Structure 1
Amino acid sequence: MGLFGAKHKRSDAQLHQLLDDAHAGSDQCVRVLLRRTDLYPVYISPNFRTMLGVDPQRYIDDVHVLLRHIPAEEQPNLRRAVKAWDRTGKLSQLCAYDMPGNQPVRKHFRITTTPTANGEHYLVEFIDVTEEQQAIEQACAERDRALQIVEGRSSFMSQMSHEIRTPLNGIKGIIELARDHSTEPELLLDDLQRADELSAYLLSLINDVLDMSRLNSGHVELEALPFDMRLVARELQSMFEKQAQDAQIDYRVEMDGCDDVLLVGDRMRLNQVIVNFISNALKFTDAGGSVIITIREMYRNERTVNYLIRVRDTGKGMDPRYISRIFLPFEQEDRTIARRYGGTGLGMAITDALVDLMGGTIVVDTEPGKGSDFTANIPFKLADAKQVEQLEQEGETLETRSDDSGTPTEYEFAGKRFLLAEDNDLNAMIAAAMLEDLDVAVDRADDGPVVVDMFEKSAIDTYDAILMDIQMPTFNGWEATRRIRALERHDAQTVPIIALSANNYVEDARESRKAGMNGHTGKPIEIAELKAQLAAATAESALSSRR
């Protein structure tokens, strides 16, 4: 029922009844009837207190009490609207309203004021549009995010177009120069060297762009396999110590307080993250400086342990204001970075996305001229007893891995015979020519079934290695590998099989391993990388045969 002022009991009962009837069934609207002469509330709808959080008697005593709950920043607009109102038509204003209480809840009301037909009253309606306003604000926020994404993608595509066109134009120009230098061997070799450097940069850029695309689209899934963190540290030490030594940089990998070292996670992606940090640190550190990697166990919680991995260098450092942009694609502190130090500008963006995927965080501390600290905090699960046993059986703990693996420092190509599986004639011609220049005899298969058949019909130990294309017409290189490994002849188990693929992703390398391959390298073939993988495969085969 309505509330009426005690001093004004002469209000028309029929009018009150009409207002109550109009209000019946409406729980989203508060109605107040104000006398025009003095704005005295002659009628207040029953849900006033519930909807506005104010005692009706307070409103009767002070009609401006509701104004105090309208945010200060919105009050000037409301006052201007009231001042401009001609008192004859309807006044409508959208206002935020902070409900009274210790923890105010913000609502949104559309307040409409309409003169009655007899001109003696104003009907004021507070219509709750909170849900509608929140939906509008959410839609606006989503629109702004969408526009930001579109703008970001447009900027990314524009930058990527520039980054790709630059080396392509360079390669095209160098080819023209090479034609002019066809009778000058020294200049021609210099042209070819520069074209090779540009093509290597272009391939690296494309790989990074595709990696970023896969991460952003959610197509990268982390593996959860047991590994020994101590072996990760040892591999990082051996991976970069020669490069650091040549650059006269003090390089060390240190483990600090690491009691729980048998972990479960994606070791290959973890390596990718740390390698990106180390590569940057070495790149920006001059001779006489240092790059120190610290791997430290921070804390454990039941079956989870958190690791800190810090790469600290004494290099050029950065302006701390740049830190907020360091993990954005193609962002570099100044335009001379790429020219002086190389790199695609995507490594840190990929690293940040991977650490985020792992559930970790990255903290950067840097100062110009004094170096930088890149610290990743990453959680891992602890390996259970069964997984520890598996690692020990595979020789993948520090205690069980044999140092006497027989790994050769060089792989001798001369006199070897390879089986090359490649369905593309041009790729096959290039690969065969490169190998034949190394005194390797090459037999080619142009499809999955063909390579399996050629190997099966060959004499035992005919082939020293199989180079296996992944994408082939009838069935792919992974299936061909599985079929070769299943053959009942001893060399089917020991012959090194190296994947050749234009998709040189971590996931592809992992799939190659699962299929029974010894390594995975990208196209075009890098002889140095192929040599390293064949050396490792030969050592792996020798070690397996002794177990």
Structure 2
Amino acid sequence: MGLFGTKHKQSDARLHQLLEDVYADSDQCVRILLRRTDLYPVYISANFRTMLGIDPQRYVDDIYVLMRRIPAEDRLKLERTIKAWDRVGKFNQCCAYDMPGEQPIRKHFRLAVMPVTNSERYLVELVDVTEEQQAIEQARAERDRALQIVEGRSSFMSQMSHEIRTPLNGIKGIIELARDHSVDRELLLDDLQRADELSGYLLSLVNDVLDMSRLNSGHVELEALPFDMRLVARELQSMFEKQAQDAQIGYRVEMDGAADVFLVGDRMRLNQVIVNFISNALKFTDAGGSVTVTVREMYRSEQTVNYLIRVRDTGKGMDPCYISRIFLPFEQEDRTIARRYGGTGLGMAITDALVDLMGGKIVVDTEPGKGSDFAAYIPFKLADEKQIEQLEQNGETLETRSDEGGTPTEYTFAGKRFLLAEDNNLNAMIATAMLEDLGVAVDRADDGPVVVDMFERSAADAYDAILMDIQMPTLNGWEATHRIRALERPDAQTVPIIALSANNYVEDARESRKAGMNGHAGKPIEIAELKAQLAAATAESALSSRR
């Protein structure tokens, strides 16, 4: 039953009854009949308390009790609407409403007020549109996110255009200078050196952009293989020791409180994260400063152990206000950073995405002039006894690792014979010329089936290595490697096979390893990288033959 005013006229009874009959089944709309002269409620629908959380009698005693439950901003709008209303037509307005209680619930109503024909009454309707409003707000939020993504992509592409055009314009200008300096060898070599530096930056930028794209699209899958964390620390020490020494920067890697060192995870991606931290630390630290890498076991939970990898430097530091933007693409603290220190501006964005993919988090502490502290907290699974035993058998623990069998500095090209699989004539010409300058004899195959056939028809141990392009028209490099490894001749298992690919991603390197290759080098060929890959492959082959 509705609540009727105690001082209504007998003539209102039929109107009240009509309202009760018409709206008896309506549970989403509160209806109130107000007297025009003093806005006294002469009728209140039965669902008033349920819908609004207020006793009807309280509203009868204080007709402004509902208004006070409307948030200030909506209340001001409603008051302006009522003030401008001509009292003849109908007006509608949506507003928020806070249901009373220990924890107020925000609801939304559509308020409609209209004069009742031939009666000194106003009919007020409050329709619950909370679900509709939530749907509208969700749609607006999704729209805003979509606009933000579009704006971000537009800004990213604009920045990309600038970042790519800058070195391209530089290379083009240097080529023009090189033509003018063709008779002056010293100036010509200087031009070539600058062109090489710019092309190296451009290649690094393209690789980083593609890495970011793969991470954002979810195409990067983490590996779950056992490894010894102590070897990671040792490799980080040797990797940057010479660079730090040349820059007169103190550098050390510390293993601190690590009881569980045999872990399961993606060692290559972990290296990528830490290397990025260390590279930045060395870049922004002047001579006389120091960079310290700490690898520490934090806590263990069942079969999971959490590690802290922290890189602390005494370099230039940053304004703490910049920390919220440091992991955004192309964000740098000021415009002089790229000019003074280099870099693509994508490294930290990639690092943050990788740590997030690993289920970890990054914490940054920095102060201008006092250095920076980058800490990654990353969970790993513990390796089981079988996995640890396999690591020991493979010589992949600190105790069993042997440096015998060759290092990058011990490998010599002179007198070697390579089989080069490359379908692109220009790439083949460049690779052949570079290798021949080093004293290597090169035989070329222009497709997958050809390289398999040439190796199969060659004499035993005729080739010291096979350099295998991945993308070839008839048979790709991975499948060609499968077929070579399956041949019934002793050197089919031991000949070093190095992948050459423009796609120099971690995932591609894994695929090359699965196919039976010994290494994976990027294009364009970097002789130092190829030398390191061949040295490692030679050592690997020597170890395999001894077994």
| TM-score class normalised by the smaller sequence | over 0.9
| Structure 2 residue 222 is the aligned partner of structure 1 residue 222 | yes
The 1-side partners of 2:102 and 2:58 are apart by 19
Paired residue for 1:188?
Answer: 188
Cα pair 2:416 2:439 within 8 Å, conserved: yes
The 2-side partners of 1:119 and 1:86 are apart by 17
In the TM superposition, residue 215 of structure 1 has moved relative to its aligned partner by: 0.9
| Structure 2 residue 268 is the aligned partner of structure 1 residue 268 | yes
| Structure 2 residue 427 is the aligned partner of structure 1 residue 423 | no
Paired residue for 1:130?
Answer: 130
Paired residue for 1:476?
Answer: 476
Deviation digits for residues 26-75 of structure 1 (CA, Å, limit 9, x no counterpart): 22111111111221211111111111111111111111111121112322
In the TM superposition, residue 11 of structure 1 has moved relative to its aligned partner by: 5.6
Paired residue for 2:348?
Answer: 348
The 2-side partners of 1:305 and 1:17 are apart by 72
Paired residue for 1:91?
Answer: 91
Paired residue for 2:333?
Answer: 333
Deviation digits for residues 518-540 of structure 1 (CA, Å, limit 9, x no counterpart): 11111110011111111111112
Which residue identity is paired with 1:354? L
Paired residue for 1:510?
Answer: 510
Paired residue for 2:76?
Answer: 76
Paired residue for 1:523?
Answer: 523
Which residue identity is paired with 2:16? H
Which residue identity is paired with 2:113? T
Paired residue for 2:40?
Answer: 40
Paired residue for 1:208?
Answer: 208
Paired residue for 2:171?
Answer: 171
Which residue identity is paired with 1:446? D
In the TM superposition, residue 94 of structure 1 has moved relative to its aligned partner by: 0.9
Which residue identity is paired with 2:170? G
Cα pair 1:408 1:539 within 8 Å, conserved: no
In the TM superposition, residue 372 of structure 1 has moved relative to its aligned partner by: 0.6
TM-score, length-scaled by structure 1: 0.98
In the TM superposition, residue 309 of structure 1 has moved relative to its aligned partner by: 0.6
Paired residue for 1:324?
Answer: 324
Cα pair 1:11 1:42 within 8 Å, conserved: no
TM-score, length-scaled by structure 2: 0.98
The 2-side partners of 1:302 and 1:405 are apart by 39
The 2-side partners of 1:264 and 1:257 are apart by 18
Cα pair 2:406 2:536 within 8 Å, conserved: no
The 2-side partners of 1:244 and 1:126 are apart by 72
Cα pair 2:406 2:535 within 8 Å, conserved: no
Which residue identity is paired with 2:89? G
The 2-side partners of 1:100 and 1:112 are apart by 22
Cα pair 1:410 1:531 within 8 Å, conserved: no
The 1-side partners of 2:22 and 2:450 are apart by 86
The 2-side partners of 1:85 and 1:388 are apart by 81
Cα pair 1:69 1:99 within 8 Å, conserved: yes
Paired residue for 1:108?
Answer: 108
The 2-side partners of 1:369 and 1:476 are apart by 53
Deviation digits for residues 376-427 of structure 1 (CA, Å, limit 9, x no counterpart): 1111111223322332232222223234454363210000000000000110
In the TM superposition, residue 7 of structure 1 has moved relative to its aligned partner by: 4.0
In the TM superposition, residue 433 of structure 1 has moved relative to its aligned partner by: 0.4
In the TM superposition, residue 160 of structure 1 has moved relative to its aligned partner by: 0.5
The 2-side partners of 1:120 and 1:168 are apart by 81
In the TM superposition, residue 227 of structure 1 has moved relative to its aligned partner by: 1.3
Which residue identity is paired with 1:289? G
The 2-side partners of 1:21 and 1:78 are apart by 30
Which residue identity is paired with 1:227? F
Cα pair 1:407 1:538 within 8 Å, conserved: no
Cα pair 2:404 2:539 within 8 Å, conserved: no
Paired residue for 1:251?
Answer: 251
Cα pair 1:95 1:111 within 8 Å, conserved: yes
Cα pair 2:407 2:532 within 8 Å, conserved: no
Paired residue for 1:153?
Answer: 153
Which residue identity is paired with 1:98? D
The 2-side partners of 1:301 and 1:3 are apart by 62
| Structure 2 residue 41 is the aligned partner of structure 1 residue 12 | no
Cα pair 1:285 1:315 within 8 Å, conserved: yes
In the TM superposition, residue 469 of structure 1 has moved relative to its aligned partner by: 0.2
The 1-side partners of 2:408 and 2:109 are apart by 79
Cα pair 2:405 2:538 within 8 Å, conserved: no
Paired residue for 2:437?
Answer: 437
The 1-side partners of 2:520 and 2:137 are apart by 50
Deviates more, 1:277-286 or 1:64-73: 64-73
Instruction: State the SS of the aligned residue for 1:73.
Output: helix
Deviation digits for residues 328-362 of structure 1 (CA, Å, limit 9, x no counterpart): 11111121211221111111111111111111111
Instruction: State the SS of the aligned residue for 1:219.
Output: coil
In the TM superposition, residue 9 of structure 1 has moved relative to its aligned partner by: 6.9
Paired residue for 2:65?
Answer: 65
| Structure 2 residue 361 is the aligned partner of structure 1 residue 361 | yes
Paired residue for 1:51?
Answer: 51
Structure 1's unaligned 5+ residue stretches are none
Deviates more, 1:479-488 or 1:440-449: 479-488
The 2-side partners of 1:278 and 1:202 are apart by 22
The 1-side partners of 2:111 and 2:384 are apart by 64
The 2-side partners of 1:104 and 1:9 are apart by 38
Deviates more, 1:392-401 or 1:184-193: 392-401
Deviation digits for residues 62-110 of structure 1 (CA, Å, limit 9, x no counterpart): 1111112111232211111111111111121211001111111100001
Structure 2's unaligned 5+ residue stretches are none
Paired residue for 1:277?
Answer: 277
Paired residue for 2:313?
Answer: 313
Deviation digits for residues 414-472 of structure 1 (CA, Å, limit 9, x no counterpart): 00000000000110000000000011000001111111111111111110111000000
The 2-side partners of 1:468 and 1:405 are apart by 23
The 2-side partners of 1:392 and 1:20 are apart by 85
The 2-side partners of 1:260 and 1:342 are apart by 38
Deviates more, 1:56-65 or 1:202-211: 56-65
